[in-house]
Amino acid sequence: VEKQLQVISVLQWVLSFLVLGVACSVILMYTFCTDCWLIAVLYFTWLAFDWNTPKKGGRRSQWVRNWAVWRYFRDYFPIQLVKTHNLLTTRNYIFGYHPHGIMGLGAFCNFSTEATEVSKKFPGIRPYLATLAGNFRMPVLREYLMSGGICPVNRDTIDYLLSKNGSGNAIIIVVGGAAESLSSMPGKNAVTLKNRKGFVKLALRHGADLVPTYSFGENEVYKQVIFEEGSWGRWVQKKFQKYIGFAPCIFHGRGLFSSDTWGLVPYSKPITTVVGEPITVPKLEHPTQKDIDLYHAMYMEALVKLFDNHKTKFGLPETEVLEVN
């Protein structure tokens, strides 16, 4: 029974991630055409007044973050959060999370719930997991995301949290984004980072320390069809990524009732998220490209070092190398 509860807890999140926003949009539009149209009118009126709330950190709910369902979610894989250094509550932070995987399951469980006790491991630190801004245009889904402390990954939101929300804020950015998800596959440890420097510029503008974070096992939980560069499949994926913001991956996990069948439930592979040592960043209102390149290089070096120092503890051979693209 416990194992089935774990499977159901994971499946509800996967379905929420994939279809909740679209399903709620369709239902509300349909409600306009029924005798219950007033419900839809009231919600959209509320939505208009509440439109900018996600940009100001949203409405985190400790009750939602502590739901029992997230503990079943954690135990299914299982997911573990490893702390290597203390974080000062007098500073703000930008965590670079790697790799993206298909859905960033480790990022969600560790930083948008209390299943791995992030608040106890980093007392006084408020984590905000940043995701696509388009998700916050979806009715009901936006409320669900905000309750976990999830915010849009755009400049306005990050500027607000790092300048007008006091100290002790930690914004978790999955740096590789959609491009990285396209190369996610079991047995591969690769990150898209060399040309991703926007998060470093934001850190410099606000004097927020950079924290490299690597999730061992994030790429193991789904199998994906990888299209070669130049193929029609990769062309379609890149067009979606460019104009819509996400890349449609063709992937599968296990079935609901059996691990021998295909389905949307991820495979139960351990995910261990290791939070590295913060890199102290000065506050520069107008950082130069030289400044950005310097701290970006420091960040890449720290991430590779973090990977090398912990890889053998989590089942990887000493010869395994982190591929930085």
Chain mean pLDDT for the chain: 93
Candidates 285, 95, 136, 268; CA nearest to 205 is: 285
- The pLDDT, as a whole number, for residue 228 is 78
Q: Where are the domains of the chain?
A: 1-324
Q: Is residue 302 helix, strand or coil?
A: helix
Residue 269 confidence (pLDDT) above 80: yes
Q: Average pLDDT for residues 136-159, to the nearest whole number?
A: 94
Alpha-carbon gap, residue 21 to 101, rounded angstroms? 21
User: In this structure, what DSSP letter does residue 20 have?
Assistant: I
Calpha distance 70→275 (Å, rounded): 20
Q: How far apart are CA 85 and CA 276, in angstroms?
A: 7
Q: Is the pLDDT of residue 211 over 90?
A: yes
**pLDDT cut 70: percent of the chain above it:** 99
Q: How confident is the model at residue 223 (pLDDT cuts 50, 70, 90)?
A: very high
At residue 240 the predicted structure's pLDDT band, cuts being 50, 70 and 90, is confident
| pLDDT score at 234 | 79
Tell me what the mean pLDDT of segment 288-311 comes to: 97
Percent pLDDT > 90 in the chain is 80
Query: Which pLDDT score is estimated for 179?
Result: 81
Question: Is pLDDT at 87 greater than 90 in this prediction?
Answer: yes
Label residue 260 by pLDDT band (50, 70, 90): confident
pLDDT at 239: 80
Residue of 192, 199, 171, 159 lying closest to 296 (CA atoms): 199
Decide if pLDDT at 125 tops 80.
yes
pLDDT band at 120 (very low <50, low <70, confident <90, very high): very high
For residue 268, the SS3 value is coil
150 pLDDT tier (thresholds 50, 70, 90): very high
pLDDT tens digits, 163-179 = 988 999 999 999 998 78
Q: What is the pLDDT of residue 128?
A: 97
* 136 has pLDDT over 90: yes
**Which helix (H) or strand (E) element contains residue 212?**
strand 209-216
